[in-house]
Chain A
Amino acid sequence: MTPELDPVIHAQARLRVVATLNTLADGDQITFPGLKDLLGMTAGNLSVHLSKLEEAGYVEIVKTHRGRTPVTYVALTHRGRAAFEGYTTAIRELLDTARAPASEET
């Protein structure tokens, strides 16, 4: 009866990345340095996690230019949003089933 937890999201760092991106409005993108500051991660570390999320199709990475400087924007895809929603639902279900028998005993 244990709900499956999405292994892509079920890791501290990636969960924080996805939770942060999920608070942005649908259709919004955040710069890579902006996201890095919000998470307090190193650029290298964040890159690794973002490419894993991109492989899963959860995150969209857009490389563009502002004037001559290259800028990278990151956003959650619809699939990523759905996966995060599914993950939080699964976590809540797990917590509910864990609590239910304990409350019956008392």
Chain B
Amino acid sequence: MNNDDQALSPEEMLRLIEQQETETVSRLTPNPVPHYLAWGVAWFVGFGALFLRNGLSGRPYVEIPLGVALALLFGLMTLAMLISAMTMWQLGSPVRGASQQRGTMYGFSWFFGFSAMWVIGVRFGQSLPGPEQSLLWSSLSMMVVAILYMAGGAVWLTRWLFVFGAVVAVLNTIGTAAGPGWHALLISVGAGGGSIVTGLMLHRRLRR
């Protein structure tokens, strides 16, 4: 008789089930660390530049042209989006079906969300003064991010993903009401710093 067919004691069977479940989940779940670090750095640096440019009282701390600050922010965000897509898309995953469809639809939601943001920003940004224009772009992009993080939490029933999105939504709301300098500071430290910290915490937990 094959060794595989032997029955073990109940304890051993239960341990076998648990081992197999942990092993499967860890091998089929993409590593989320690059995603959090990439977005964290993009927001921390991008909104950090906007904060230095806008200043809390409307007087810039460092003279950075608006175009340069926005290009830095959206350049880094595009890079982060590519990193997320590459790690999350899971080309060559052996699994197909419901979860694959869920991931594809979710990926397209980001694309359509940011496309809409782009058109709104270009259309209405032109008529606004510099700092307000940067606030329009910043608040729109963070609104899309917050909504999609919360939606992601709902789709995969991941509570902390939802909570992170909700925190970003609150910071975005308060920041937008308070003005360009405050918004950039809150998002840089709160969302950017928070994402970097989350990435590092997940990295430590996954290495164990």
Interface residues of A (CB under 8 A from B): 10-13, 15-16, 19-20, 22-31, 33-35, 37-38, 41, 45, 49, 73, 75, 88, 91-92, 94-95, 98
Contact = CB atoms under 8 A, between A and B. Distances in A.
B173 interface: no
A12 B94 contact: no
Given A31-B94, A38-B24, A95-B10, 13 more contacts: A11-B7, A12-B6, A12-B8, A12-B13, A13-B4, A13-B5, A20-B24, A28-B99, A29-B97, A31-B95, A37-B94, A38-B28, A91-B13
Nearest to A11: B5
Interface of B: 2-8, 10-11, 13-14, 16-17, 20-21, 23-25, 27-28, 93-100
B104 to A, nearest CB: 13
A66 to B, nearest CB: 10
Contacts of B100: 28
Question: By DSSP majority rule, is chain B's interface helix, strand, loop, or mixed?
Answer: helix
Question: By DSSP majority rule, is chain A's interface helix, strand, loop, or mixed?
Answer: helix
